[in-house]
Amino acid sequence: MKIVAAKVIVCSPGRNFVTLKIETDQGVYGIGDGTLNGRELSVVSYLEEHVVPCLIGMDPRRIEDIWQYLYRGAYWRRGPVTMRAIAAVDMALWDIKAKMAGMPLYDLLGGKSRDRVMVYGHANGSDIDETVDAVGQYIDLGYKAIRAQTGVPGIKDAYGVGRGKLYYEPADAALPSVTGWDTRKALNHVPRLFEKLRQTYGFDHHLLHDGHHRYTPQEAANLGKMLEPYQLFWLEDCTPAENQEAFRIVRQHTVTPLAVGEIFNTIWDAKDLIQNQLIDYIRATVVGAGGLTHLRRIADLASLYQIRTGCHGATDLSPVTMGCALHFDTWVPNFGIQEYMRHTEETDAVFPHDYRFEDGHLICGETPGHGVDINEDLAAKYPYKRAYLPVARLQDGTMWNW
Positions annotated as catalytic residues are 159, 212
34 is a contact residue toward ligand CS2 (CB under 6 A):
no
Cβ closest to ligand CS2, residue 182 vs residue 339: 339
At its nearest, how many Å lie between ligand CS2 and the CB of residue 176?
12
- Beta-carbon contacts of 109 under 8 Å, excluding residues fewer than 6 positions away, are 292, 296, 327, 328, 331
Select the binding partner of residue 182 from ligand CS2, Mg ion, none (C-beta < 5 to 8 A, by kind). Answer: none
Contact (Cβ atoms closer than 8 angstroms) between residue 200 and residue 228: no
Cβ closest to ligand CS2, residue 16 vs residue 254: 16
Contact (Cβ atoms closer than 8 angstroms) between residue 20 and residue 47: yes
Footprint (CB under 6 A) of ligand CS2, residues 297-316: 312, 314, 316
214 is a contact residue toward ligand CS2 (CB under 6 A):
no
Footprint (CB under 6 A) of ligand CS2, residues 36-55: 37
Cβ closest to ligand CS2, residue 170 vs residue 290: 170
Q: Count residues binding Mg ion (CB under 5 A).
A: 2
> What's the rounded Cα separation, in Å, for the pair 375 and 9?
10
What distance, in Å, lies between the first and last C-alpha atoms of the chain? 46
210 is a contact residue toward Mg ion (CB under 5 A):
yes
Footprint (CB under 5 A) of Mg ion, residues 249-268: 262
**Phi-psi region at 96: left, alpha or beta (left = phi > 0; alpha = psi -120 to 50):** alpha
Contact (Cβ atoms closer than 8 angstroms) between residue 312 and residue 286: no
212 is a contact residue toward ligand CS2 (CB under 6 A):
yes
Q: What is the DSSP letter of 75?
A: S
Strands 29-33 and 17-24: antiparallel
> What's the rounded Cα separation, in Å, for the pair 124 and 197?
12
Which of 33, 280, 329, 339 binds ligand CS2 (CB under 6 A)? It is 339
Cβ closest to ligand CS2, residue 259 vs residue 350: 259
Contact (Cβ atoms closer than 8 angstroms) between residue 29 and residue 43: no
210 is a contact residue toward ligand CS2 (CB under 6 A):
yes
- Binding footprint of ligand CS2 on the chain (CB under 6 A): 37, 170, 210, 212, 262, 312, 314, 316, 339, 389
